């Protein structure tokens, strides 16, 4: 089963979900999945060092992650597509006519987004401390959500 996480830049939320999922399934010897991620508008200038640092603190090495842009080929090569926010879900429907699940929908049965840093920190360009704190909180949230996400994903697939 191929799982794809989608966000905007593929350098924060979808990347974190991708690497947290990979780490969790590897650690728990769940070999039924191939996981990847992509962005609707990827940031090829690099990944925020604090996101990489937070993942490393959680025992996850994402230092070699390379952002990529979602396209028809990527979509066709995945079985389940997980949007990190409602705008990604809408983008996928409008541009590729596909339905996707929200991360929180699978993890907690909630149709709520994981917001991007600029949506929460209005002065994100000048308030580096708040920006870094929020990014760290989101990475932590994705990490602690992963057991629920994987369990519910497996249950969802078994009930199809």
160 falls in which pLDDT band (50, 70, 90)?
A: confident
160 is a domain residue = no
pLDDT tens digits, one per residue of 113-156: 999 988 999 898 899 899 999 999 999 999 999 999 999 999 99
Q: How many domains does the chain have?
A: 1
59 is a domain residue = yes
Query: Structure pTM?
Result: 0.95
Domain extent for 73: 2-150
Separation in Å, CA 113 to CA 30, 76, 85, 89, 95 = 26, 24, 4, 10, 19
157 is a domain residue = no
156 is a domain residue = no
Stretch among 45-49, 67-71, 92-96 having the lowest mean pLDDT: 45-49
Stretch 94-122: mean pLDDT: 95
CATH code where residue 64 lies: 3.40.50.2300
């Amino acid at each position: 089963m191929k799982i794809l996480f989608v966000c905007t830049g593929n350098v924060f939320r979808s990347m974190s979900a991708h690497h947290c999922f990979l780490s969790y399934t590897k650690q728990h010897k769940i070999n039924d999945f191939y996981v990847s991620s992509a962005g609707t508008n990827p940031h090829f200038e690099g990944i925020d060092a604090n996101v990489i640092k937070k993942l490393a603190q959680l025992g996850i090495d994402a230092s070699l992650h390379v952002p990529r842009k979602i396209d028809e080929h990527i979509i066709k090569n995945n079985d389940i597509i997980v949007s990190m926010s409602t705008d990604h879900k809408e983008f996928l429907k409008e541009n590729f006519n596909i339905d996707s699940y929200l991360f929180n929908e699978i993890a907690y049965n909630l149709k709520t987004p994981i917001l991007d840093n600029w949506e929460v920190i209005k002065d994100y360009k000048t308030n580096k401390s708040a920006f870094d704190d929020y990014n760290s909180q989101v990475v932590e949230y994705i990490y602690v959500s992963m057991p629920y996400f994987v369990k519910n994903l497996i249950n969802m697939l078994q009930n199809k």
